[in-house]
Structure 1
Amino acid sequence: MITAPIIVLLRTKTSSEKASTTGSPNETIIYFTNNIFSLTFLPYLGEWTITENMNIERVHHTASTLTNECVLVTGGWGGSAELYNPSTGTWTATGNMNTARAAHTASSLANEYVLVIGGVKNDVALNSAELYSPATDTWATTGNVNVARAAHTASILANEYVLVAGGWDGSVALNSAELYNPSTGTWTTTGNMNTARYYHTATTLANGYVLVTGGFSIGVGILNSAELYNPLTGTWTITGNMNTERYYHTASTLANGYVLVAGVWDGSAEFYNPTTGTWTMTGSMNVARVGHTASTLANGLVLVAGGYNIDVGYLDSAELYNPSTGTWITTANMTARREFHTASTLANGSVLVTGGHNRFGMLNSAELY
């Protein structure tokens, strides 16, 4: 009597197999065990491949996907910028920003320009902003924000304005917020948040509201509070508190409209229901981490990569969150340990990770998941 199950593993070829075997480089490989009784399908969980290094080592930089599918990387303790071409896997230096900066934000506007805001230079928070034109490959200054800030958030609203909230001005956490008008290149103040914070997250919801979560406030510490910005009234309303205080965390929008927040020293994760304004704990990550990245994939899974663990140190591990089961699955490790890197989802479904730092210093390496 046959009792042992057959296990079928479906996956695409690895990089080495693509180079050394015949047939299509993207064909599925099938593995069988010996005894046949039942079928168990194990999904292939991806791999990381090295792509060309950036020209500059970067941390606390930004990465923006352009309409031509190239990725613009800016700053990270310098004023340089460069473009990644997914078709060739190569980097090209582009025009330098007018001001060197790190811990800034970069927003892709409807007119295809990229708006870079604030940040820090030589430990001084900046109030400058500038625009990158993909058509001319040049930078031009635009209106200054009213308050110098770094480690803030920037969110594009339905009316194409850009909402900037919170941050650090060089001495204290900020609760101020302001709006950028792309048509005029000017800034106007809007309602203050209820809590000053930096290194928080901001997520634009399907109803047009912006959800801000967690962060750090000097004199208060790590925050579990959350609040909503109403673009129609320009006001902030407190919504349900998270179950756990968080900063250097990530926030990802799921297919059902919920917002998954992940990362803190205990590895916990939870999701926000915009309809009820409540938070629900979900499965914890396999590895606790902060300073990581999170990318929502085309299949609905969320890829979390890298970061820092208080016991292990800098991480090269990655894992996938399945919204259907509320669980995390370990996937292939990155080729380098990194924290405060960036992750960009490309048109072909791959995720490009760039830079960051580890115990050896800042990185110029890049890789694809």
Structure 2
Amino acid sequence: MDPLILTSPTHSRRCYVSVTVLSNFIYAMGGFDGYVRLNTAERYEPETNQWTLIAPMHEQRSDASATTLYGKVYICGGFNGNECLFTAEVYNTESNQWTVIAPMRSRRSGIGVIAYGEHVYAVGGFDGANRLRSAEAYSPVANTWRTIPTMFNPRSNFGIEVVDDLLFVVGGFNGFTTTFNVECYDEKTDEWYDAHDMSIYRSALSCCVVPGLANVGEYAARRDNFTGLALRDEVKYSASTSTLPV
């Protein structure tokens, strides 16, 4: 096993930071430094092992979430120290500028944000009173948000990723307890499906996709003889309350 390599530190202490990757750079935005919520942002270049400050965001935000779509960085929601945010903004790497986009329909801290298809999805979170089941999708072309069907479970501070052209949400906090629930959304059917739960309760977790893993079979959950195609067909034609086989 390769040893872990210590990289250079960020310019600011950042707890509840939002992180995403674009064009071989790692972007770290906002967060909490122990005193205030931050609007500063920086990016890391692995080749030089250096962090470089970029233009600050319009909003101070911790516990937000970020993703990339069409060569731009999007960050949504979060907490500014006083209230949960419904604002969102986009970063243009060429001009080094942040632009405020249309606000979300709900305030969302502890939100999940992911690029899926041609849209940026904002899922779940905490609006200052309740953990949310609601979700919405942003169109960069129209600069508008539209609501999508609600999840089965309310959740904030959960994992989110796109796998096999399905948007998965994993674990989180439902307002009462940490959860192990997993569900996925299919944009083609515009429906949520239950997936098998994790064996461990997890909140404040992260998910990632590792492409081209040669020994993926050693890590993947058993699918009881379902092929990938059969699994997709089962998802597509089953009712939205059914359980996704694994």
What band does the TM-score fall into relative to the shorter chain?
A: 0.7 to 0.9
Shift of 1:351: 6.2
Indicate which of 150, 160, 163 corresponds to 1:297.
163
Give TM-score, length-normalised by structure 1: 0.53
Relative to 1, partners in 2 of residues 1:215 and 1:329: Cα closer, same or farther, differing over 3 Å? Answer: same
Q: Partner of 1:177 in structure 2?
A: 41
Q: Partner of 2:154 in structure 1?
A: 288
Structure 2 residue identity aligned to 1:215? G
Q: Partner of 2:121 in structure 1?
A: 260
Relative to 1, partners in 2 of residues 1:139 and 1:193: Cα closer, same or farther, differing over 3 Å? Answer: same
1:181-260 paired onto structure 2 within 5 Å: 181-206=45-70, 208-219=71-82, 221-254=83-116, 256-260=117-121
Q: Distance in 2 between matches of 1:337 and 1:183?
A: 37
Relative to 1, partners in 2 of residues 1:147 and 1:344: Cα closer, same or farther, differing over 3 Å? Answer: closer
Indicate which of 181, 187, 190 corresponds to 1:317.
181
Q: Answer yes or no: is 1:278 the counterpart of 2:144.
A: yes
Indicate which of 191, 203, 207 corresponds to 1:327.
191
Stretches of structure 2 that go unaligned for 5 or more consecutive residues are 126-130, 222-245
Shift of 1:267: 0.6
Q: Distance in 2 between matches of 1:180 and 1:336?
A: 32
Give TM-score, length-normalised by structure 2: 0.78
1:1-369 paired onto structure 2 within 5 Å: 134=2, 137-142=3-8, 144-158=9-23, 160-206=24-70, 208-219=71-82, 221-254=83-116, 256-264=117-125, 265-298=131-164, 300-311=165-176, 313-346=177-210, 347=213, 348=216
Structure 2 residue identity aligned to 1:225? T
Q: Deviation string for 1:181-234 (max 9, x for gaps)?
A: 33333333221100000111111112x110000011102x11110000010111
2:119 touches 2:138 (CA, 8 Å); kept in 1?
yes
1:157 touches 1:231 (CA, 8 Å); kept in 2?
no
Q: Distance in 2 between matches of 1:351 and 1:272?
A: 31
User: Aligned-residue CA RMSD in angstroms?
Assistant: 2.1
Stretches of structure 1 that go unaligned for 5 or more consecutive residues are 1-93, 95-133, 353-368
1:261 touches 1:271 (CA, 8 Å); kept in 2?
yes
1:262 touches 1:270 (CA, 8 Å); kept in 2?
yes
Relative to 1, partners in 2 of residues 1:188 and 1:269: Cα closer, same or farther, differing over 3 Å? Answer: same
**Higher RCO, 1 or 2 (CA under 8 Å, sep at least 6)?**
1
1:344 touches 1:351 (CA, 8 Å); kept in 2?
no
Structure 2 residue identity aligned to 1:303? F
1:319 touches 1:328 (CA, 8 Å); kept in 2?
yes
Q: Deviation string for 1:260-290 (max 9, x for gaps)?
A: 2211313100011122221111000011111
Shift of 1:162: 2.9
Q: Partner of 2:236 in structure 1?
A: none
Shift of 1:180: 2.7
Relative to 1, partners in 2 of residues 1:305 and 1:164: Cα closer, same or farther, differing over 3 Å? Answer: closer
Q: Deviation string for 1:78-134 (max 9, x for gaps)?
A: xxxxxxxxxxxxxxxx7xxxxxxxxxxxxxxxxxxxxxxxxxxxxxxxxxxxxxxx4
Instruction: Figure out how many residues of one structure are paired with residues of the other and give that number.
Output: 212
1:164 touches 1:177 (CA, 8 Å); kept in 2?
yes
Which secondary structure does the structure 2 equivalent of 1:330 belong to?
Answer: strand
Which secondary structure does the structure 2 equivalent of 1:246 belong to?
Answer: coil
Q: Sequence identity, in percent?
A: 28
Shift of 1:150: 1.9
Which secondary structure does the structure 2 equivalent of 1:212 belong to?
Answer: strand
2:7 touches 2:49 (CA, 8 Å); kept in 1?
no
